[in-house]
Structures are given as C-alpha cells and as structure tokens.
Structure 1
Amino acid sequence: MSDLLARHRAVMPDWVALYYDRPIEIVEGRGNRVTDADGTTYLDFFAGILTNMIGYDVPEVREAVERRLATGVVHTSTAYLLRGQVELAEKIARLSGIEDAKVFFTNSGTEANETALLLATYARKSDQVLAMRQSYHGRSFGALGVTGNRAWKNNSYSPLNVHFLHGADRHLPQFARLSDHDYIKVCTEDLRHVLATATGGDVAALIAEPIQGVGGFTMAPDGLFAAYREVLDEYGALFISDEVQTGWGRTGETFFGIQAHGVTPDVMTFAKGLGNGFAVGGVVARGDLMDALHAVGLSTFGGNPISMAAANATLDYVLDHDLQANAARTGAIVMDGLREAAGRLPVVGEVRGKGLMFAIELVDPGTGEPAPALAGVMMEETRRRGLLAGKGGLYGNVIRMAPPLTLTEAEAKEGLGILIDSMEATNEASE
C-alpha cells in the first residue's frame, strides 16, 4: 500500500486529498460493505461520497449494464435517438413535479449546475446570481463562483456577479437564539436588503442546496426557501435547487430535498447516487427554460447508454423497494441514538441531518469552538472499528455520513454502536 501511495503522490495533484493517516484502497464491495487491499472489511457510511446509493454489486444494476454491454454499443451520441435517455427523462420529469419538465443529461453535478446557471442567466439576460453561504456547487469556473466556502475556492474570479445569503448559518451569534420563524423572517428581510442594495434588481436566480453537503449537512429550516421564493417571484428571479446530494429519497421525508419547503423550483440539478457508481448528472427544468437556448448544444458522454442503463435500474430499484421510507426508518435509528449519546459527550457540538444524511459536529469541550483536529481523530477511530465516514463542514470539524439507502436496521444499529464508541474515544482524546 505504501508503494501505491507513493505513486499516487508522484502523479496526482497535491490538492486531491486522501482520508486517513494510512489511506486505503477499496478493492471489493458487496451489499453495504467494502473490503480494502489488506482484506479489512468496512460498513460503508459514506458510499463513495453519496454515490453508491443502493450499495455494491446490486444484481438489478449489474444485469442491466451487462445487457447493454452485450449489444456491443456502449456509445452512440445524442445525434441519434437514445431509448434509455428518453425512458429515464420521462421518469425524472414525472417525479420532479415541475410543470412541462424537460431533462438534459450530463456527466456530473458540476456540469449540471453549470447548465442550470446557463439556463437562468440566459432566460433573465443577467449575470446576477444569489447563492447561500457555506454552499458548494462544483469545481468548475461558474460553479465555484456560487460556492460559499473558502476552503473550496482557489480565486475570486467568476463569470457571474454573485451575492451570498444567510439561511444555513444558525451557529452565528446573531442567530443562535432565534426560533425557526424568527430566523426565517430575519433572513428574508436580509434577502430584500441584498436585492435593494447590492443588485440591479434583475437577478437571474437563486441556487441553493436543501441540505449543504460539503458544508457539513447544515440546512435551512423548513419553509425558508418558500419565503425566499415569494420574494424572488416579485423580481421575476428563478429558483434552482441543487439536489445532487439530497435527491432520490435520501432525506426520508420527501423524494427531493426542496419539497420539505413546500416549493417546486424552476430548475433542479441531480447527479451522484442516480447511477449507483456510474457517471450521470443532469438538469430537470421547465420546458420553456430548457427550450429557450438558441445555440445548438449536446453533452458527448452525458446520458450515454451504459450510464442510462445503470440509472434506470437504480431509480426503478429505489421506487420498487420504497427506499425513501427505509431512509426515514433507519436514519431515525442512527440519529436518535447519536443525539442521546451526544448529551453526555462535551466534544459533540451538534448531531443534525435528515434520513440517511446525518452529521456529527465536533467542538473543543472547553470553548465550544470548531475542532477540526478532533474530527481527524474521530475519522481514525471509525476506520479502526470498521466503518467508513466522510469529513466536511465550513471549519473542517464535521463527520458527515450518508449510507446506502438499502441500509438495514441491523446495519444501522451496528453503525450506531461504532459511532458511539468512536465519539467516546474522541471525547477521551480531547481531555
């Protein structure tokens, strides 16, 4: 493994980060578990950054891809009719709730968000975009422009004129004691002030994650985006919901994260889990917005036959097995247990999340300040006990987890036990 690590460091950019003091190579996966090159098996609570949405080696997905491969046609292009694209687009358009929806497929969430921003700025003939503080929308030029997290921004240059809003920053002193109702009111008044002072009024859109992924699963209280939408409608501005991490029932309570706010956006973006490991992303939007672009466009590999076979099989599996309900049920097991344990562990600042999308924020027990070093300790503790987790947050002090939606109740309880043991060990390390 040390040889592979040395080779990685010789040819891969330094900014491609690796987890753990001794990075692992995952070589096999079955169900909701993976095995590394040393033969150690882990319960996977991060799923390739929310990508292996229904686990590993799923027969329905594998067989759908094998049938496609057997045809010998792994790629044609959008210059020809693609049955798999049409079938998947029909399903997504129906599930989105967007009126007269149309779908465009890409390879990733980054590309999807770029497309959404193009649709909005073209429709409104404006480069002015609103985004959320602590957000992350991708690594490309435009997507970084609407990313509100300095750790992921290499420069301030952007093709867009961006203004960042409050809404997922309840930890700030000025908001900490506010009720949801009062926080929504304050944030909405701030939105009006931003529109009146920092913009020309002709804002193209607001882009927002219902739950901020890289931001450490911070989220706006339900109803905030409905309040924002009322203001946006006064200005004719559009609303883009970035569902790259919150889509397909992961939050348990709704199929898309934004639905918890009682809002149907003009545009939604998606990616990650839909292909269960195969590269797929896309945009679903009102037909008039999607059709409005005057230039010819395509995505050479976006919506390719292999990815479409995997995505159709994955989405069918999610719906046929009601995995949204499973996410609500198993997620509650984990979060209820974590919250109960957190009450006696000063190192835990907060447990938050929805469904199978939950996080543990680690703080200095003495000061309550963010403790990124302790997050590193907990990452090692979870790995040592056989569980894979992720790390994030604005301050790098959050353990974030999103197991496959196929997580069983037994696996939820197993993972909970590992996490509590790891929290206790981290708490001891902080003393």
Structure 2
Amino acid sequence: MTTDASQSPAHGSAKHLYQRHQAVLPDWLAVYYADPIELTHGEGRHVWDAEGNKYLDFFGGILTTMTAHALPEVTKAVSEQAGRIIHSSTLYLNRPMVDLAERIAKLSGIPDARVFFTTSGTEANDTALLLATAYRRSNQILAMRNSYHGRSFTSVGITGNKGWSPTSLSPLQTLYVHGGVRTRGPYADLDDAGFIAACVADLEDLLGHVRPPAALIAEPIQGVGGFTAPPDGLYAAFREVLHERGILWIADEVQTGWGRTGDNFWGWQAHGQNGPPDILTFAKGIGNGMSIGGVVARAEVMNCLDSNSISTFGGTQITMAAGLANLTYLLEHDLQGNARRVGGLLIERLRAIAAQLPGVREVRGRGLMIGVELVKPGTDQADPDGAAAVLEAAREGGLLMGKGGGHNTSVLRIAPPLSLTVAEAEEGAAILERALRSTQF
C-alpha cells in the first residue's frame, strides 16, 4: 500500500466520516474493515482512499467497475451527454436507450428480444419476477439454494442465503432446488454427470408435488454465495424439464454477464444446449459504475403485462451514454478474451498458493470471477473470522477484495476490472499470499 498525502482531502478523517455514517444511516448497511475507508478516486485497476493510500482493486465496487476506473471513453461520453440532456423518463423517445437496447437484444441470444431498463440488478430481478408470474399466472417460484437476487421485497423472498434474507414474508411462494453448489451438499461426492442426474431427479420429484411454478431463477455462477457453480450443462438439463411443463427459465446475469467468466459472454451459455433462457437480467458492469440494470425477454413474455408502466430513471440518457461507450470499449478491446487469459493465469497461481495452505479449502471460478474458500485448518468447517482477518491483511498490503459464501461468509471474492494485466494479477496474488500466511493459514 502506497501513500500520496497530496491526494488527501482536508475535510475530516475517515474515522470521523464513519461516526457520521453510523449516526444517520441504518445499522444493517454493512461496510468493510474494522477501520472503514473512503475511496476518493481511481484510475485503471487502482483506487485511492481519503488518506492517500493506493490499492489494487480486485472487487470493482462489487463487480460494477467492469472495464477500468476513470475510463476516458466512458467519462467523455457521460460528460458530453450531461452537456445536452441528462434525463427525460421513458415517456419520451430516447435515442441512447434505443441504441443500447438494440445492441443488448442482439447480444442476448434471445429471439425476438425486448429490453426494459432499470436502475439496478435488484430492480431487474424484481421486474423479471413480475413478468414471469403475470405470464404464467402463478406466484410460485423455483430458486436455487445459496442464491442471492437483490434486496427488494420480492427478490429477498426468493434469496436462498439466510445471511441476506431478513424476512420470510413474501408475495411469492418459493421452492428451493439443489445444484448451485458443486462441492457441498448431499450430491457433492458424485461425479459431474451423476451430480446433474441427481439434481434433475430432485427437480422432477419436487415438481410432482406442487402446482406448476412460474419460473426458475438462477445465477449461472452464484455471486454473494461465494462464486459457486454447478457443472456445465445443469441448467440445460433443468430447462428440458421446465420446458415440458411451460415453466420459464430466468438467468440472473447481474454478476456473470458481459464476458466476465471468460469462456462465454453470458453465464447461461455454459448451459445453453437447449437454447437461451426465456428471461435474462443484467446490471452492474454494463454501466462501469453508472446505475444500469435491465431485463431481456422474448416479446410474448415481455409484452404480457396488461396495464401501463413507465420507468422514471431506468434508461435515462446519461446512463445509456455510459453503457454504450462501455460496451463498445469492452467489445473492441476483447475484454472477454482478456478475462479468460489473465483470469486463467490468476486461478492457477492462486491454486498453487492454496496447495501449501491447509486453511484454503478450494480455489474456484472462471475468468475474472474467482472464489477462495477458507476453512479452519484440518476441518471442512467454514471460517468467517479467518476470511475477515485475511480481508484486513490484504487491505493493509494494498489489495481490496470482497467476501461472501453461504450461511458463513468464508469465501474471498476476487473480481477485478476485466482490463487487468498479467503483472497486476501477479501483484494481487502475491499480496493475497502474504495476507493468507500472515493470518496463520
């Protein structure tokens, strides 16, 4: 961690700001670190805090700064759009919104696609649930165990992770399905084919006991759940079962979209043998920090609502300008390919480190979406205290990461901007190795 005192603002310390934060914001609004930090600016894959400390950013504002901090192409597009008009709502024609919708519809892989823009992934998933339940005339939803889909009343109600679901009250009736976590649970000891077969049999058995649900919603790789994933093809096998019964498949691509997994542009494409999802949701990285979310669905599903609707802030001109510039940069610079190459090197480097440390149970992931699961050495028991200690030590060393995972937050979440260089990947791995060793792993 390096310090540049010239960058430090003169209007009070982070400690004082945290006291003000605690006095006026909710207790449940979590912040990282025993001594929280205020990030004041960034460039490329680095950010600086209010004290002038420089960090390598391996979390990107929760997978949101997808390409780079202060990317000139995006900041220029935002500045130019702000000089024309910032917002008008969906009650007026909006050229940047139509431009971005056309590009996303084509990229989605969904035939005859329609796109609706929101302000967040939570709102996108909320909209997808509205569409599915209206289209199917059912309030029953299938969701994956260990899942996370947002913080609205409906999305909390289908979240299969009790650490992020503060209430059991919901307008939806949710049934949880096996399969989102490959290396834990009742089918963990099976090979991949056996795992898929067991999960499909469980799904078929479940559907034999209930009225037909509206949809299955699933993250191709579970984000908050600790970057866990099933074997490739699981959701294709699920889709075959669902399609026979008219049940929709919603792919939650809020964290997995836009090439982050390296192998595919969308996470669903690892499970696409039986075609694309009926509904796809996206958010986070497309705006590179601007508030963009959205839903893609085939026309008959998207158009099923029989009442009026608008979006005041979804698709606003300034966010669409950012999204267009960011998507153009992503595609022209093949950041998906970079995620595959650099992410592959980073995963192998971290697995080599983990092989020497009994407190690391698993290094998993794909592209630049990597989870490092920690356990108490000599056991298979999650170690959230250890994960918190490593997070602190990494920050002291100049590296920012996230954490998550199941009921116990014991997985380090690594998701840098997709423009990460090989040298930066090596630097981050070295800092993380020192942090792991210093906390007695």
- Give the TM-score category using the shorter length: over 0.9
Q: Does 1:162 align with 2:174?
A: yes
Q: Deviations over 1:130-164 (max 9, x none)?
A: 00000000001110111001111111111111100
Q: Deviations over 1:335-366 (max 9, x none)?
A: 00111111110000100100000010000002
Q: 1:44 aligns with which of 57, 70, 74?
A: 57
Q: 2:251 aligns with which of 215, 219, 241?
A: 241
Q: Which runs of 5+ in 2 are unaligned?
A: 1-13
Q: Does 1:232 align with 2:252?
A: no
In structure 1, the partner of 2:116 is 104
In structure 1, the partner of 2:7 is none
Amino acid across the alignment from 1:163: L
Amino acid across the alignment from 2:325: A
In structure 1, the partner of 2:384 is 372
Extract structure 1 runs of 4+ deviating beyond 6 A.
none
SS in structure 2 of the partner of residue 61 of structure 1? helix
1:172, distance to aligned residue in structure 2 (A): 3.3
1:222, distance to aligned residue in structure 2 (A): 0.5
Q: Does 1:19 align with 2:32?
A: yes
In structure 1, the partner of 2:368 is 356
Cα pair 2:283 2:294 within 8 Å, conserved: yes
In structure 1, the partner of 2:264 is 254
Distance of 2:71 and 2:186 partners within structure 1: 48
Cα pair 2:89 2:313 within 8 Å, conserved: yes
Q: 1:418 aligns with which of 413, 424, 431?
A: 431
Identity of aligned residues (%): 55
In structure 1, the partner of 2:225 is 215
Task: Name whichever of 164-173 and 118-127 sits farther off.
Answer: 164-173
Cα pair 1:243 1:270 within 8 Å, conserved: yes
1:173, distance to aligned residue in structure 2 (A): 5.1
Cα pair 1:28 1:35 within 8 Å, conserved: yes
Label 1:311 to 1:369 Cα distance change in 2 as closer, same or farther (>3 A): same
Cα pair 2:157 2:167 within 8 Å, conserved: no
SS in structure 2 of the partner of residue 105 of structure 1? strand
Q: 2:216 aligns with which of 189, 193, 206?
A: 206
Q: Deviations over 1:264-300 (max 9, x none)?
A: 1010000011101110100011011111211111110
Distance of 1:75 and 1:173 partners within structure 2: 48
Amino acid across the alignment from 2:96: G
Distance of 2:316 and 2:308 partners within structure 1: 18
Amino acid across the alignment from 2:70: D
Q: Deviations over 1:356-397 (max 9, x none)?
A: 000100000022200000001100111011000001101110
Q: Counterparts in 2 of 1:250-329, with a 5 A limit? A: 250-262=260-272, 263-329=275-341
Q: 1:53 aligns with which of 43, 49, 66?
A: 66
In structure 2, the partner of 1:66 is 79
Distance of 1:149 and 1:173 partners within structure 2: 14
Distance of 1:271 and 1:169 partners within structure 2: 23
In structure 2, the partner of 1:187 is 199
Q: Does 1:335 align with 2:347?
A: yes
Say how many residue pairs are matched: 425
Q: Does 1:150 align with 2:162?
A: yes
Amino acid across the alignment from 1:70: G
Distance of 2:180 and 2:118 partners within structure 1: 28
Amino acid across the alignment from 1:196: G
Q: Which runs of 5+ in 1 are unaligned?
A: none
Distance of 1:115 and 1:176 partners within structure 2: 33
SS in structure 2 of the partner of residue 218 of structure 1? coil
Distance of 1:135 and 1:334 partners within structure 2: 25
Distance of 1:69 and 1:174 partners within structure 2: 53
Cα pair 1:20 1:380 within 8 Å, conserved: yes
Cα pair 1:93 1:103 within 8 Å, conserved: yes
RMSD between aligned alpha carbons?
0.9
Q: Does 1:387 align with 2:373?
A: no
Q: Deviations over 1:97-125 (max 9, x none)?
A: 10000100000001100110111111111
1:177, distance to aligned residue in structure 2 (A): 1.4
Distance of 2:315 and 2:146 partners within structure 1: 30
Distance of 1:215 and 1:170 partners within structure 2: 12
Label 1:293 to 1:173 Cα distance change in 2 as closer, same or farther (>3 A): closer
SS in structure 1 of the partner of residue 379 of structure 2? coil
Cα pair 1:203 1:235 within 8 Å, conserved: no
Cα pair 1:116 1:269 within 8 Å, conserved: yes
1:327, distance to aligned residue in structure 2 (A): 0.3
Amino acid across the alignment from 2:160: G
Q: Does 1:127 align with 2:134?
A: no
